[in-house]
Chain A
Amino acid sequence: MKTMKVSFNVNSEDVTLDVRPYETLLETLRERLFLTGAKEACGLGACGACTVIVNGIPLRSCLVLTPEVEGATIMTVEGLREDGNLHPLQETFMEKGAVQCGFCTSGMIMTAKALLDRNKRPTKKEIVTTISSNVCRCTGYKKIVEAVEEAAKRMA
């Protein structure tokens, strides 16, 4: 099948790629751009491990076709660092022990980042609602919620 030319911006870099029309954004990020921060767990939209931010919105990249993101601005966990400094969410996730196996972590952080971008001072309830879009099989969520609360404080 013929490939398609798709252009988008990822982590502040413009890219143009030839992709399969039925290629998922997750496959493109991981296998063509070697951005392996976003993980494939369920592959069916049920867990959030593949979450990246597309035009300001957290998206499950396992459900998105790469041709759908033509012209989009995408951020993956690799794009969070600024001037060599980790993002507050990356710091607080480590400090609070919100990471165990780490498979859900990039999805959790990108989901939380999108929340903090649209809502500077989320309540604990709002954080829980947002984070419940993502599944973690290790931490029990408590430390993840604490890490997001702490990051919000530092960013305020």
Chain B
Amino acid sequence: MILPQFEYKRARSVADAVALYKKEKGKALYLAGGTDLIPLVKLRLREPKAVIDLKGIEDLKIIATRGGSLSVGANATLFDLKKDPVIAAHFPALVESLDATACETLQMRGTLGGNILQGARCLEYNQSLEWRKARGFCFKMGGKECNVVKGAKVCFANYCSDNAPSLISLGAQVRLMGPGGERTVKLESLFTGDARAPFAMEGGEVLTHILVPLKKTKGAYEKLRVRESMDYPLVGAAVSVIDGKVRICVGGVGAAPRLYVLGDIRDAASVRDVAEKASADAKPVANATLSPAYRKKMVGTLIKRALKRALAEGKG
């Protein structure tokens, strides 16, 4: 598949990247591993005038402990993070979600920043231009309505990052730098809830670091998929137990991951309640390879499985 024309720029620093973005008048896209972006450009779903390669920025590769947090540069690859001893010793949910992402080869190229900022997916959307033209453009492509839920003026595409749910369960924050300056926000507040434009980010903002509170946790990640390898989550459930508190985050259904916090892990009834509530909250539609009813049911099931493993393994 041939790429459309665009310019290629290399950024030496974050400030340089932002300056390049301004020069391209907002018509540029940042490039990390390209494993999400390049397919989208090939399918003509993104049409940049220029791509700005962030991989040469040294500061974005660093994994370090800083002020009670593990600070992970956005360009750190999933494979390197999976092998990181500090992550292995503290964040079991993250180790499991990293391992469940795509496949080994893609983990070696894909970055954590790119993983968080990947586009939302739908069987009707991630298709070639010819396919989409023949079908008629849906709401997310600028058409009048959704092609899955007829008449709907909402997009139900699924945000399929495996690692955002585990990072949210761990209480991660993200640091951003853009034309308007620098800010740090909780990862769960980086989402708009609108699958047409899932991220609450200003044009030109670079995700620079992911900050995870450095505490020993117990945890697990459960992923529903059809194939064991190279398959996006059809539901993902991350659980982390931090200082006796349980944080549960569900991904793979809808535009944003959903976070649930449980006070007391020994309370079996509240575990059941949370699993039921998360299942009820999940509104999958027929835009993925398994039926909506099955995926909805599996939300609760995966939460219970993850909780059981997180508590049983006695990690941390």
Residues of A within 8 A of B (CB): 1, 4, 20-24, 27, 40, 43-46, 48, 51, 57-60, 62-65, 67-68, 111, 129-130, 132-135
Q: How many angstroms between the C-alpha atoms of A1 and B5 in the bound complex?
A: 8
CB closest chain-A residue, reference B53: A68
Contact of B103 (CB < 8 Å), options: A27, A65, A133: A133
Q: How many angstroms between the C-alpha atoms of A9 and B51 in the bound complex?
A: 24
CB closest chain-A residue, reference B8: A21
A residues within 8 A CB of B230? 46, 132-133, 135
Contact of A45 (CB < 8 Å), options: B6, B10, B35: B35
Could you name 6 residue pairs across A and B whose Cβ atoms are closer than 8 Å?
A44-B1, A44-B42, A60-B105, A63-B34, A65-B34, A132-B103
List CB contacts (< 8 Å) of B89-105 with chain A: 103-105
Inter-subunit contact A59/B109 (CB<8 Å): yes
Known A22-B3, A44-B1: A65·B105 in contact at CB below 8 Å:
no
3 nearest A-B pairs in the assembled complex, by CB-CB distance: A43-B1, A132-B229, A133-B105
Smallest Cβ distance from A43 to chain B, in angstroms? 4
Q: How many angstroms between the C-alpha atoms of A51 and B6 in the bound complex?
A: 24
Known A68-B55, A133-B229: A58·B108 in contact at CB below 8 Å:
yes
Q: How many angstroms between the C-alpha atoms of A24 and B39 in the bound complex?
A: 12
Q: How many angstroms between the C-alpha atoms of A156 and B30 in the bound complex?
A: 43
Contact of A63 (CB < 8 Å), options: B38, B228, B229: B38
Q: How large is the interface on B (under 10, 10 to 19, 20 to 34, 35 or more residues)?
A: 20 to 34
Smallest Cβ distance from A126 to chain B, in angstroms? 9
Smallest Cβ distance from B2 to chain A, in angstroms? 8
B313 sits at the interface (CB 8 A): no
Inter-subunit contact A130/B6 (CB<8 Å): no
Residues of B within 8 A of A (CB): 1-8, 10, 31, 33-35, 38-39, 42-43, 51, 53, 55, 103-106, 108-109, 228-230
B residues within 8 A CB of A62? 1, 38
Inter-subunit contact B6/A21 (CB<8 Å): yes
Inter-subunit contact B108/A132 (CB<8 Å): no
Contact of B42 (CB < 8 Å), options: A1, A43, A68, A111: A43
Contact of A59 (CB < 8 Å), options: B2, B5, B6, B105: B105
Inter-subunit contact A45/B106 (CB<8 Å): yes
A residues within 8 A CB of B2? 27
A residues within 8 A CB of B104? 129-130, 132-133
A residues within 8 A CB of B53? 65, 67-68
A residues within 8 A CB of B51? 65
Inter-subunit contact A63/B35 (CB<8 Å): yes
Inter-subunit contact B5/A48 (CB<8 Å): no
A residues within 8 A CB of B6? 21-22
CB closest chain-B residue, reference A63: B38
A residues within 8 A CB of B7? 1, 21
B residues within 8 A CB of A43? 1, 42
Inter-subunit contact B3/A24 (CB<8 Å): yes
Q: How many angstroms between the C-alpha atoms of A22 and B108 in the bound complex?
A: 22
Contact of B108 (CB < 8 Å), options: A20, A45, A57: A57
B residues within 8 A CB of A48? 103, 105
CB closest chain-B residue, reference A43: B1
